[in-house]
Amino acid sequence: MPLEKILETYKNAILKRWFEAVAQTYPAETARFLQGQQDPFANPVGGATRTSLEGIFDQLAGDLAVDMDIEAIAAHLDPVIRIRAVQSFSPSAAVGFVFFLKKILKEELGQESRGRSELLNRLDARIDDTALVAFNIYMKCREKVFQLQSNEMRNRTFSAFQRAGLVRDVPEDDPDKNNPIE
Amino acid sequence: MSEMPKPKEVLSGLDHRPPRKGWMDTPVDIRKGMYCYAANPKSVEYLGLPHAREWNPLDDDWKLPENWQEILHKGFKERLDRFRSIKVFMDICVRCGACADKCHFFIGTGDPKNMPVLRAELLRSIYRNDFTLSGKIFGKLSGSRKMTVEVLKEWWYYLFQCSECRRCSVFCPYGIDTAEITIFGRELLNLLGLNIDWIATPVANCYRTGNHLGIQPHAFKDMLDFFVEDLEEMVGVKVEPSFNKKGADILFITPSGDVFADPGTYTAMGYMLLFHYLKERYGFDITWSTYASEGGNFGFFTSHETMKRLNSKMYAEAKRLGVKWILGGECGHMWRVIHQYMETMNGPTDFLEEPVNPITGTKFENARSTKMVHIAEFLADLIKHDKLELDKSRNDHLKVTFHDSCNPARGMGLFEEPRYVIRNVCNHFYDMPANTIREQTFCCGSGSGLNAGEDMELRLTGALPRANAVKYVHEKFGVNMLACVCAIDRAALPTMTEYWVPEVDVTGLSELVANALIVPGQHDRTTDLRGEDLPGREEEEDGE
Amino acid sequence: MNVNYMFSLVAVLVLILLAYAGAGAAGFTTFFGVFIPYLALVIFIGGFVSRVMDWARSPVPYRIPTTAGQQKTLPWISYSYTDNPSSNAGVVLRMILEVLLFRSLFRNTTVEVKDQKLIYRLEKWLWLFALAFHYSFLTVVIRHLRFFLEPTPFFIVWLEKLDGFLQLGLPGIFLSGFVLLAATLLLLARRIFSPKMNYISLASDYFPLILIIAIAATGLLMRYVAKIDVTAAKELTLGLATFRLAVPEGISGLFYIHLFLVCVLLIYFPFSKLMHLGGIFMSPTRNLANNSRAVRHVNPWNYPVDVHTYEEYEDEFREKMVEAGLPVEKGA
């Protein structure tokens, strides 16, 4: 059986453990809530994490003969990283959950992984790549947070000056509207 | 505050769970991005509030007055004698857990001390120790503990991580209201000078100049004049707002945030266009005040007394100007104060008339004593009686959803009026999932004075449940506009959507109305109030 | 191991031993059968009343109902009569729904997204357990009035018929006792095994639960297993009710344990969270009508405060106001 097929068989078990492991990066009381509450509106963190992990896994476990679709990986990583980037995690803890998968795979696949070291290595490399993409997204999110902070500050003071008539000479297409930081 | 992760934190997620410790044994960890800066002593002093000083939440030493424990104990006791709510809420919680996962800050941050029940237990533990027999006999077993600097810091950190939205209170079988507990807790903290600057400075400004931003009267007028120019350009009519006008029919009060920051400014322009319309068509005379130029009341987030001091201007100004009644703009906590506190604090109001809409003849029975009407109620009445000429299609480029602001929702019950108005000025309206709207609405994450810049992570995580529901209607129906009736929403939600759902913009109710309003003498309007082209109408512009 | 529930468990065990040793072995039956019950009743009633009076002493300065439905405004907008009452009748109805049906707990809904559609479900377990617990407890308490009243009033007979409708076994099985035990066990399990509940629970949450479990268990044991001398027991309890004190011989130690635990519960009641029984009626977010803009609510301690008057304001800004063309009161 090709490794992809095996991964498919073990998908649910692996995802379950992975999600549990990610949930346990939160305090125990919270972890239980994240796992137990299935309503995506009452539990957006759990909901987004669950969906993200599945999407990431499907990409990772896809055809190992071709290159992994980095953009697709990024799209699936975004929601979960976007949340973890503002949740008081250290940067490593925010993205480190990607590596949990390595240990889980090793334990879940067990016997099945015999004689497939090359493919497994490739899977390993994919996980590493995923972690790096996660880090990129994390940084983008953090930059966004700082940008939002400075935008708010700027809008507040600048508009105040402007409306108070202190910067009357601003040209028609004032920079505030173009938002040069974007 | 080293940012370097400890080795265990890095890749230990699989094996490592934090040791199980009770919440009382977990000391507070004041984290960057989750708290607001300390109050500027000048602001505290201007208001004559006690213990103004420079202090920093991250310092070990908060420079507390020597007898701080005594001050707190006395303050606690005084308030137990004054507020039945506090006394009852301190006693009757059974910790059933119904509220635990209802708080947007718990859902978003995952910090268990943000469960409403625990936020209240932070105070209850001291209450039991200081005021109950069982606390004295059984000590920690009864869930009591002694007041220490550590506990005080925990109070401060978590009481400024509650937006007083009352969502938990809807689910509590005894109606225990965390907002009430937070209000009370913050009042105690203020006895020790422990306010945050995002609240203290607006309060001082408001006291002095009439509004949170410290806009002086002439500048306030300047700002509205600026909108007059904009409106003339976009609509083709010259509106003439009146200020401090004696003998006007109505005094209009709205949060100053709307005169100052986008997209609230468009809401303000919406009011102005609406008032112009009413004046032209029906001779209805509405005036603005520079003295009572703030609807919002950050005093509410300081103490009951401060709330009353700021709120007094509304009636004082209405009396001075001799208006018939007061119309209130779109604001959240402003309406909680008006609806549930104002007349009790600063009434009675024998100098005003029971509010009647002279255009429709409708008596606003529900406001007959306080004599202040919400603009959504006023608009709904006008539309119902067909007194506004509207061209809905001018909002056709918008797919709108409505965010029920916490205070008008759970402190008033304003659900249908704004929806009725939106449905009559927009063709595309979609509600968010039922457990995220109306009485179950999720907070914007920035309410109760927490919309500062330095606590951005707190605000973003707190906004996640709301954003998540917005994202759902965006993906499902293509919603691109989030309407609300709150100035803090209009200030905070654009930042929130930019992070979580960048495709969705934020608007006030009155802006949507003004977009659709057919104003006598207007030219062919090719843009909305934001100056953005209306799709399908640009050609007409070419033809001109 | 959690010190909170271990302590509570040990405390209840000690109480059981105390009663068993005291009344059963040492024979202090008058102390446990007469003195303690009267003491408990006095403390319960006195404590309950004084707690409620203490709450009532503090005023309700503001009208702060939590509005959980559409307000009453314009006549053509239908409003929520019970979830956002505008009249006292509405408030009474709201309180009835709250007290008898636990309305607020019934609000917990969860959503599932299935095939792009939202499916709402009621999160009903807490509500159901709570309801089962309270109603079975109430039934058991009322049924027990038979021990204090002679002849047995008709409503107790009816209730017993209803409660024993299964008509199983001899003596006939009363459902309420079993429901009470099951519901309290489930509520206890919830506190112990849910990390969230475990985290927020105090010893004072476990203690009354375990106490009630022990009361229910000893009661069931007496009725269905040990089959104590009911006539003797009733002689004692009826004696208590009619002040014709008599402590008959031959009442099992089990009975004294049961009675003692009930007395402990009564004594504990006024000093604990169990006072929510009285408190729910005093909760200002539930027991007030949302009519604060229609009828002025009066705060008895409303005191004058420092305000920044218009005159002070104009004095500070007059020049600028005049310059900007704003009307002023003085010296325009």
pLDDT (mean) for A150-168: 67
Question: B466 lies in a domain?
Answer: yes
| Domain boundaries along the sequence of chain C | 3-282, 306-332
Q: By residue range, what is the domain housing residue B161? A: 19-195
Taking the CA of residue A155 and the nearest CA in chain C, the distance in Å comes to 26
Chain B residues in contact with A151 by the CB 8 A cut-off are 495
Residue B5 lies in a domain: no
Residue C278 is predicted with a pLDDT of 93
Residue scoring higher pLDDT (C195 or B291): B291
* Residues of chain C found within 8 Å of residue A40, distances taken between Cβ atoms: 111, 113
Nearest-CB residue to C199 (from A29, A39, A42)? A29
CB contact under 8 A, C326 and B87: no
pLDDT in tens, C90-124: 999 999 999 999 998 888 766 666 665 656 666 67
Q: C35 CB contacts (<8 Å, ≥6 apart)? A: none
**B241 and B124 within one domain:** no
Q: Are residues B242 and B97 in the same domain?
A: no
Query: Could you please report the per-residue DSSP string of C51-117?
Result: HHHHHHHS---S--PPP-S--S-STTS---TTTS-SSHHHHHHHHHHHHHH-GGGGG-EEEEEETTE
Q: Which residues of B touch C194 (CB under 8 A)?
A: 97
| pLDDT, position A161 | 62
Q: Give the ipTM.
A: 0.92
Q: For residue B5, which residues of chain A lie inside 8 Å, CB to CB?
A: 90-93
Judge: A160–B14 Cβ closer than 8 Å, yes or no: no
Structure tokens at A150: 């400075």
pLDDT for A180:
42
Same domain as B348, residue B302: yes
Question: Which chain A residue's Cα is nearest to C118?
Answer: A39
**C300: number of Cβ within 10 Å:** 8
* Each residue's pLDDT tens digit, C271-303: 999 999 999 999 999 999 999 999 999 999 999
Burial of B285 (0-12, 13-18, 19+ CB in 10 A): middle
Contact status, residue B119 vs residue B181, Cβ threshold 8 Å: yes
C196 to A29: CB separation less than 8 angstroms, yes or no? yes
Same domain, B190 and B253: no
pLDDT for the residue numbered A160:
61
B162 in the same domain as B270: no
Task: With beta carbons under 8 A apart, name residues in chain B contacting A26.
Answer: 110
Neighbours of C40 (CB within 10 A): 20
Determine, for residues B413 and C79 on separate chains, whether the beta-carbon distance falls below 8 Å.
yes
Task: Give domain status of residue B3, yes or no.
Answer: no
The reply to whether B82 and B211 lie within a common domain is no
Find the CB nearest A86 among B18, B453, B460: B460
- Give B94 to chain C, closest Cα distance, Å: 6
Nearest CB to A148; choose among B11, B215, B456: B456
Question: Which residues of chain B carry a pLDDT beneath 50?
Answer: 1-2, 5, 7-19, 541-544
Residue A163's pLDDT is: 59
Q: Is C303 on the interface with A (CB under 8 A)?
A: no
Residue at which a domain ends, from B195, B220, B250: B195
If you measure CA to CA, which chain A residue comes closest to B260?
Answer: A160
Which chains have at least 3 CB atom pairs separated by less than 8 Å from chain A? Answer: B, C
Of A44, A87, A96, the CB nearest to B465: A44
pLDDT digits (tens, 9 = 90+) for C74-87: 999 999 999 999 99
Selected residues 62-81 of chain A with any CB under 8 Å from a CB in chain B:
none
Q: Report the residue from A83, A92, A156 with minimal CB separation from B464.
A: A83
CB pairs < 8 Å spanning B and C: 294
- What pLDDT digit, counting tens, does each position of A74-115 carry? 999 999 999 999 998 989 999 999 999 999 988 888 877 777
Q: How many domains does chain B have?
A: 2
| Sheet hosting strand B505-508, strand order edge to edge | B400-403, B481-484, B505-508
B470 located within any domain: yes
- Identify the pLDDT of residue B291: 93
Q: Are B290 and C72 within 8 A, CB to CB?
A: no
The residue in chain B having the minimum alpha-carbon distance to the alpha carbon of residue A26 is B110
Q: What percent of chain A has pLDDT over 90?
A: 46
How far apart are the CA of B112 and the nearest CA of chain A, in angstroms? Answer: 6
B4 in a domain, yes or no? no
Q: Are residues B51 and B177 in the same domain?
A: yes
Q: Which of residues 365-424 of B touch C (CB under 8 A)?
A: 365-370, 372, 377, 380-381, 384, 409-417, 420
Question: C71 and chain B: CB distance < 8 Å anywhere?
Answer: yes
Based on the fold, state whether residues B380 and B464 are members of the same structural domain. yes
Look at the domain A3-139 and name its fold: Globin-like (1.10.490)
On whether both B159 and B211 belong to a single domain, the answer is: no
Contacts of C196 in chain A (CB under 8 A): 29-30, 32-33
pLDDT of residue C161 exceeding 50, the answer is yes
pLDDT of res. B228: 94
Task: Encode pLDDT of C45-59 as tens digits.
Answer: 999 999 999 999 999
Q: Quick one: pLDDT at residue C114?
A: 65
State which of B168, B195, B222 marks the end of a domain.
B195
The single-letter code of the amino acid at B529 is L
Sort out which chain A residues have CB atoms less than 8 A from C199's CB and list them. Answer: 28-29
Residues B246 and B374 in one domain: yes
**Angle (deg, nearest 10), helices B456-477 and A117-163:** 100
Task: Enumerate long-range contacts of C321-329, CB under 8 Å, 24 or more apart.
Answer: C321/B217, C321/B218, C321/B290, C323/B218, C324/B217, C324/B218, C324/B221, C324/B222, C325/B221, C326/B217, C326/B218, C326/B221, C326/B243, C326/B244, C326/B290, C327/B243, C327/B244, C327/B245, C327/B246
Q: Which two tokens stand for residue C239?
A: 């004696």
On whether the CB atoms of residues C92 and C99 are closer than 8 A, the answer is no
Which class does domain C3-282 fall in? mainly alpha
